[in-house]
Amino acid sequence: MIETWRWFGPDDPVTLAHVRQTGATGVVTALHHVNQGQAWPEAEVLKRKAEIEAAGLTWDVVESIAVPEVIKTRQGNVTAAIDRYRASLRAVGRAGIKTVCYNFMAITDWTRTDLNYRTATGAFALRFDAVSLAVYDLFVLGRPNADADYTAAQIAAAEVRFGELSADDIATLERNLIEWLPAREFVYDRARFRDMLDVYRGIPVEQLRENLFAFLRAVLPVAEEEGVRMCIHPDDPAFPIFGLPRVMTSAADVRQLFAAMPSTANGLTLCTGSFGSNRANDLVAMAREFAPRVYFAHLRNTTHEADGSFHEADHLGGDTDVIGVVATLLTEEARRRAASDPAGAIPFRPDHGRLMMNDIGMRVNPGYSGIGRMRGLAELRGVIKTIEALGRGCLTTAAHGSVQAA
């Protein structure tokens, strides 16, 4: 597997020099300064690629060429938006970057209520608090008919919590939910967010799914021509929020996607954290079933809480068997080598990470601090090296505790 690192460009507090020090060899990034639906100029792609290579790294994955809302809703000048997306695909493909991660989430990207949840160790993690979401949805946003999406107990808990929050608390919650993301290509205030929710109220989940298929029917031929593999990222969290339709939350969703679009250019970003936010998902089973179409992996973990909340755990902690997922992906890589499958090695990145040690109090993109991700990468590297060694049959542990050749 190829060790990569999410980098948000020249303004990222974690520099390319830092990335090199982690031991990662590849970079996952985008043209964040040209990411509001414009076509990416090939010259800009090559300039960014040269910057990365000058640091001794390779640009392995584009994450992401943003899919504009006009494409998701099919409202507006869809043809022009598709043409710009095709042009961006051609630019990255011709620059030699052959893996493109994207998502098809309505309005939102990954959503958390708390960006600085203090853990038992004193480090900080990202958290999704189901009660806080209900507070915002019911009593701040005032989404019409939102109460139908919550139980009586959830509504009662949210009403109590709302009474305990200060104006500053509510402002922070709103910023976390609708305004903030690193390098986000869109920013909403409350009024614009309500307007977009109104748009999606008329788009049921099967219509959004068909809009996804229509998008892929339009862009996959270009991806095929340029040798680019498209990798859809799951919805995060992998269950409905704000009454919005979700089309990538489960194995059933992935099956529908691959059945509708069998092209090998149509692949999956296996995000263990996003899919793992839904208790019903078995990540090892999903890795096994979809392995031939997994072209990119985000490896992280989540711990579920009784009320539907969850927080991000250590990479090898939490409720997802990340070691089992890694073992499955390594088996798939071995199959690809034996079959001379052009999909080749799978790039992965340690996704998110605890805010810890010297990074606390420093300027960071929440979820993307340096030390926490470096810890995650080191843990994952250890897992990979151990599985590879055991797979070669080169290690046995004798009764006296020494390691001998098998």
Residues serving a catalytic function are: 233, 271, 298, 351-352, 368
CA dihedral for 239, 245, 246, 252, sign (positive or negative): positive
Helix (H/G/I), strand (E/B), else coil: 7: coil
End-to-end CA distance of the chain: 24
| Non-local CB neighbours of 396 within 8 Å, separated by 6+ positions | 403, 404, 405, 406
Amino acid in position 248:
M
d(CA 305, CA 382): 28
Look-up: residue for tokens 């390691």? 403
| Non-local CB neighbours of 47 within 8 Å, separated by 6+ positions | none
d(CA 24, CA 378): 10
Helix (H/G/I), strand (E/B), else coil: 103: strand
- Strand ranges (E), 173-283: 229-233, 266-271
d(CA 144, CA 221): 41
| Six token digits for residue 301 | 């973990």
CA dihedral for 76, 82, 83, 85, sign (positive or negative): positive
Q: Residue 381 pairs with which residues in a beta bridge? A: none
Helix (H/G/I), strand (E/B), else coil: 208: helix
CB burial class (10 A; 0-12, 13-18, 19+) of residue 60?
Answer: buried
CB burial class (10 A; 0-12, 13-18, 19+) of residue 233?
Answer: buried
Q: What is the dihedral of CA 174, 177, 183, 186, to 10 degrees?
A: -80
54's enclosing H/E stretch is helix 42-54
Q: Do 205 and 246 contact (CB within 8 A), yes or no?
A: yes
